[in-house]
């Protein structure tokens, strides 16, 4: 190892490698603990001290999950007399401890104070506690990036996040100095309640594969005085950047592993009856061998997710969203299908096209989807395109997807021939591209190299059609306000098995007129 940080990353990577191995081999948490302890003791790459560190980390996580999911045997707490499940601490006692400090701090904003107190009254487990963090606790603040609605900074948090609770001493154990991200909403003083819904989702989901939200602070710099969510920092960046750098070296096992971990965190979200609403590779962060979901700004309960204002990156958005229909778990599944395709392709879909109104109409009218990749195993290929079905009712749910991906991953681990066959097909596909169309491949490479990263930011897409504007279409009428059900004149239609068939000689003008109308309308709404 080159330095101390490299060794630390290696230990963390080994820890999660062993955790994931135990998850693959048992769904029972007690069995997983036993498997983990066995393979940790047999490991020859870690020092005795590093093994003890991994053991302590596993124990902390196990005890936290016992309390979180009420696993194991219930016991009476010797302090508060209520029921607990962890032998390490009691969440009720931690919440009581947090409440004892309610009068000792303020953010300067009643809405935020109320929000943090509400979070602390409902979640008192380490790694899932929302705090007010004075800005003076941060140093080395540096601007990292600008998003559509937020400004991102990195900083060093001198005290560090809450790591554990010492029950005998009745106080918290802190991480110590650590690098964090400050996500500051532009004009957060005007949109406080809406902005901190994102922080609430971080706490509500309480998944180990969601980026941690440690608390809220108020930035005090010469050019920014907005409130910010404090989150953990991942130096490896997001999945989009990782694929761009490493696509050519990733194996079949690497790709399916990433999909399995992403499915796992989406499973956690959907089990809470929440939907993410903005899945794409820029919202998946990486750390050693982990994939973590971030940007929960749109995440919310299923019943609340109307699509009056559509937000996202066009290729990842389900066709029904582009027709002003409701967000649903099925719209997340569509985004997941695009993500799975991208992990194998190495680039976002349609990067050689503008992410604009014309692409939207091709997706809606022409059922445009990314092309099939010959090297992808058949079972996985079929799963991807089931996720991309135009009918949301025909898409699989996340439980089914997770089970299929887990099964495929286990098969890859047990049969190295699958990986060899994948590499052979991938090589043959690349050779075929070179032989058949060298010029096209060159154009594609140039297009990807010149691809504008600005296209890869979620944005608001508004469709606001009124009846008088819709009547301007000569061959099309729209039935039901905002639900785009397209018809043409009866003379050009035939009916077969309850489907309307548009005659070939009218199809091109039908699509052309539709696209031209919506293009003009889209421009007016910008």
Q: What is the tens place of the pLDDT at every residue in 113-133? A: 998 999 999 989 998 899 999
Residue located via tokens 């955790």: 19
Residue 469's pLDDT band, with cuts at 50, 70 and 90, is very low
Tell me the chain's radius of gyration from C-alpha atoms. Answer: 26
Of 14-23, 49-58, 231-240, the range with the lowest mean pLDDT is 231-240
322 and 360 in contact (C-beta within 8 Å)? Answer: yes
Residue 327's pLDDT band, with cuts at 50, 70 and 90, is confident
- State the first-to-last Cα distance of the chain, in angstroms, to the nearest integer: 52
> Nearest to residue 217, comparing CAs of 130, 294, 293?
130
190 DSSP assignment: T
Residue 136 has pLDDT above 90, yes or no: yes
- Tokens representing 453 are 């990263």
pTM: 0.78
Q: What is the dihedral of CA 62, 63, 66, 68, to 10 degrees?
A: -100
Residue 496 has pLDDT above 60, yes or no: no
Mean pLDDT of 510-523: 52
Three-class HEC string of 194-224: HHCHHHHHHHHHCCCCECCEEEEEECCECCE
Task: Check residue 324 and give its pLDDT.
Answer: 78
Which has the higher per-residue pLDDT, 312 or 155?
Answer: 155
Mean pLDDT of 213-239: 86
Task: Check residue 290 and give its pLDDT.
Answer: 81
Question: What span, in angstroms and rounded, lies between the C-alpha atoms of 312 and 310?
Answer: 7
Residue 457's pLDDT band, with cuts at 50, 70 and 90, is low
**Which residues have CB under 8 Å from 213's CB, separation 6+?**
130, 198, 199, 202, 203, 229, 230, 231
Residue 461 has pLDDT above 50, yes or no: yes
Mean pLDDT of 430-450: 52
Question: What span, in angstroms and rounded, lies between the C-alpha atoms of 253 and 244?
Answer: 18
Residue 33 has pLDDT above 70, yes or no: yes
Residue 490 has pLDDT above 90, yes or no: no
Q: How do residues 172-207 score in pLDDT, each as one tens digit?
A: 999 999 999 998 877 655 555 556 666 666 666 666
Task: Check residue 54 and give its pLDDT.
Answer: 95
Residue 441 has pLDDT above 60, yes or no: no
359 and 317 in contact (C-beta within 8 Å)? Answer: no
**Which residues have CB under 8 Å from 257's CB, separation 6+?**
289, 409
Three-class HEC string of 244-311: HHHHHHCCHHHHHHHHHHHHHHHHHHHHCCEECCCCCHHHEEEECCEEEECCCCCCEEHHHCCCCCEE
Task: Check residue 375 and give its pLDDT.
Answer: 94
Percent of the chain exceeding pLDDT 90 equals 47
Residue 255 has pLDDT above 80, yes or no: yes
Mean pLDDT of 321-348: 92
Residue 494 has pLDDT above 70, yes or no: no
Q: What's the count of helices (H) and strands (E) in the chain, helices before strands?
A: 17, 20
**What is the overall mean pLDDT for the chain?**
80
Q: What is the dihedral of CA 492, 496, 499, 501, to 10 degrees?
A: -30
Question: What span, in angstroms and rounded, lies between the C-alpha atoms of 514 and 234?
Answer: 45
Q: How do residues 424-439 score in pLDDT, each as one tens digit?
A: 998 887 766 555 555 4
Question: What span, in angstroms and rounded, lies between the C-alpha atoms of 321 and 192?
Answer: 27
- Tokens representing 168 are 């005998």
Task: Check residue 19 and give its pLDDT.
Answer: 93
Which has the higher per-residue pLDDT, 93 or 202?
Answer: 93
Bridge partner list, 179: 156
Mean pLDDT of 338-362: 88
Residue located via tokens 């979620």: 458
Question: What span, in angstroms and rounded, lies between the C-alpha atoms of 247 and 255?
Answer: 9
The Cβ of residue 79 has, within 10 Å, a number of other Cβ atoms equal to: 15
Question: What span, in angstroms and rounded, lies between the C-alpha atoms of 397 and 435?
Answer: 40
Task: Check residue 168 and give its pLDDT.
Answer: 94
């Amino acid at each position: 190892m080159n330095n101390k940080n490299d060794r630390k990353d290696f230990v963390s990577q080994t820890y999660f490698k062993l955790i994931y191995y135990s998850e693959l081999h048992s769904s029972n948490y007690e069995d997983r603990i036993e498997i983990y302890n066995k393979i940790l003791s047999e490991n020859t790459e870690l020092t005795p001290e590093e093994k003890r560190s991994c053991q302590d980390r596993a124990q902390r996580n196990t005890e936290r999950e016992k309390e979180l999911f009420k696993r194991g045997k219930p016991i009476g707490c010797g302090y508060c007399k209520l029921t607990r499940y962890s032998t390490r601490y009691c969440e009720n006692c931690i919440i009581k401890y947090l409440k004892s400090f309610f009068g000792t701090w303020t953010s300067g904003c009643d809405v935020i104070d109320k929000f943090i107190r509400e979070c602390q009254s409902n979640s008192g487990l380490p790694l899932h506690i929302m705090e007010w963090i004075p800005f003076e606790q941060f140093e080395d603040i540096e601007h990292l990036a600008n998003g559509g609605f937020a400004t991102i900074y990195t900083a060093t948090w001198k005290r560090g996040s809450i790591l554990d609770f010492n029950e005998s001493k009745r106080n918290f154990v802190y991480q110590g100095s650590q690098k964090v991200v400050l996500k500051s909403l532009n004009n957060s003083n005007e949109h406080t309640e809406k902005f901190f819904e994102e922080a609430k989702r971080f706490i509500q989901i309480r998944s180990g594969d969601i980026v941690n939200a440690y608390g809220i602070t108020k930035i005090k710099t010469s050019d920014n005085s907005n409130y910010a969510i404090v989150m953990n920092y991942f130096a490896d960046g997001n999945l989009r950047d990782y694929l761009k750098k490493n696509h050519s070296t990733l194996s079949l096992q690497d790709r399916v592993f990433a999909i399995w971990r992403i499915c796992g965190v989406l499973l956690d979200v959907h089990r809470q009856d929440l939907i993410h609403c903005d899945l794409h590779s820029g919202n998946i962060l990486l750390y050693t061998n982990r994939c973590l979901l971030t940007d929960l700004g749109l995440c919310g309960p299923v019943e609340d997710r109307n699509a009056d204002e559509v937000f996202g990156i066009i290729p990842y958005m389900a066709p029904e969203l582009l027709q002003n229909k409701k967000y649903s778990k099925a719209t997340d599944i569509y985004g997941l299908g695009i993500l799975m395709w991208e992990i194998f392709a190495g680039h976002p879909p349609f990067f050689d096209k503008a992410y604009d109104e014309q692409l939207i109409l091709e997706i809606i009218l022409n059922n445009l989807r990314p092309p099939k990749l010959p090297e992808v195993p058949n079972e996985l290929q079929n799963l991807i395109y089931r996720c991309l079905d135009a009918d949301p009712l025909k898409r699989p749910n996340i439980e089914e997807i997770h089970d299929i991906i887990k099964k495929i991953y286990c098969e890859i681990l047990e049969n190295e021939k699958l990986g060899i066959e994948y590499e052979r097909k991938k090589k043959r596909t690349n050779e075929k591209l070179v032989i058949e169309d060298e010029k096209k491949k060159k154009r594609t490479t140039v297009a990807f190299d010149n691809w504008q990263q600005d296209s890869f930011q979620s944005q608001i897409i508004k469709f606001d059609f009124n009846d008088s504007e819709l009547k301007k279409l000569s061959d099309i009428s729209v039935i039901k306000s905002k639900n785009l059900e397209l018809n043409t004149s009866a003379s050009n239609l035939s009916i077969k098995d309850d489907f309307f068939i548009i005659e070939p000689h009218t199809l091109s003008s039908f699509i052309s007129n539709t696209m031209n109308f919506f293009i003009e309308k889209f421009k007016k709404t910008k």
